[in-house]
Structures are given as C-alpha cells and as structure tokens.
Amino acid sequence: MGAKRFIAASYTGWPNARTGASVHDESAPLDADPAPESRRTLAGIKHTEAAVTAATGIDALALRYGTFYGPGTGIGPGGDQLAMVRARKLPVVGGGGGVWSFVHIADAARATALAVGRGRPGIYNITDSDPAPVSVWLPYLSEVLGVRPPRGVPAWLARPLLGRHGLNLMTAVRGSDNARARTELGWEPDHPSWRDGFRTLTT
C-alpha cells in the first residue's frame, strides 16, 4: 500500500519484430509472427508491458533487459552457454545475421537501481551500446576464451535441431537501442560493449 513506483522485468532481443532496421528502439513493434515455441513467452511479455503502460496512479516502468553475461549467468564462469562455446557446440548458423544486444549483469543491476528513482513511466531497453550479429560476437568470444573458431552450419541443416525460434536467434533477430535508458535514467554501462565485457569472463 502507498507505493508510488513499480518496476517490471521484461526482455528485448528476439521479441523485436524481425523487419526493418537491424536495431530497434522502444517505439518499434514487437514480433507479430513469433515461432510457435516462443508464442507463450512473447504473449507474457506483451501482457506485462501492456499492464505497465496502462497503469494509473503509479509510475510504472518495464525494463527490457538484453542478453545477460557475467557472473551467475549462462555466459559467465561456469555457465552452460560459455561451456558450449568452449566445446565448439554453438555454431554460426547460416550467415549468422541475427543481431544480439548484450548487457553485463552488473550494469543491468545498476540500471534497475536507477530506475527506482528516475525516469518517466514507460518501457526502457537495458542493453549495452554495441548490438552485433552472431557472425561477429560468437567468433570474438571464442577468441577471448582461447578456443578454435565456432563451426559453421547451413541454416537448412540446423533448422530441424534448433526449431524456428532457434533459427531466428541465429539468423534474423534484431538488436535494441539503449538511448532512452541512458538519457532518462542517467545510466551509462561500465561495459558499453560486449567486446571489452567478454574479456572480463577470463579474469
């Protein structure tokens, strides 16, 4: 009772519409044709964000976090995704054109703390400033880890294994712009690019 502000967790990346520019801001539409295996999750995201934007009598914000990396995440020491990269079990599929937006877990936490006291109601992308295609970030991560480059797999061959959602992740998703969070929350990530952030995974 008496709360004046509410912060909801959301997600950005694959929920973005897979049309238009390679990087979308918060005003861009979400995916109107999601893969069957991601429809329920996307419906939940849309429901949460609709409730936030329709809220009255309280300042409600939805923070769309990018793909986490760093301690305690899948792309962190002991993480399952990092282990897949080390074992060369995460290939570049097709042309690797899917654009990902990352955020270090510590930067995400700091953005959340800032949102408690700053920013107008609405939706915010919480990502670093360097959206990048799989064909760029995955080989770089392999190099940082000191392992051989990822294998390449044709899209047609990977689809039965990955499903439509997995194929979208590797070849077609759009990245996210963080300008609104930096301007309205006064947030600047300590790791503005995964390029330097990934190097902390081995220290």
What is the value of pTM for the model shown? 0.96
d(CA 58, CA 6): 7
pLDDT tens, N- to C-terminus, the chain (203 residues) = 578 999 999 999 999 999 999 999 999 999 999 999 999 999 999 999 999 999 999 999 999 999 999 999 999 999 999 999 999 999 999 999 999 999 999 999 999 999 999 999 999 999 999 999 999 999 999 999 999 999 999 999 999 999 999 999 999 999 999 999 999 999 999 999 999 999 999 86
In this prediction, residue 202 carries a pLDDT of 82
Residue 1: the pLDDT is 57
pLDDT of residue 199: 96
Q: What is the pLDDT of residue 203?
A: 66
Number of structural domains found in the chain: 1
Helices 134-145 and 155-171 pack at an angle, to 10 degrees, of: 90
pLDDT for 2 equals 74
- CATH code, domain with 193: 3.40.50.720
pLDDT of residue 3: 81
Where in the sequence is the domain holding 118, given as residue range(s)? 5-202
- pLDDT in the model for residue 141: 98
How far apart (Å, rounded) are the C-alpha atoms in residues 171 and 174? 9
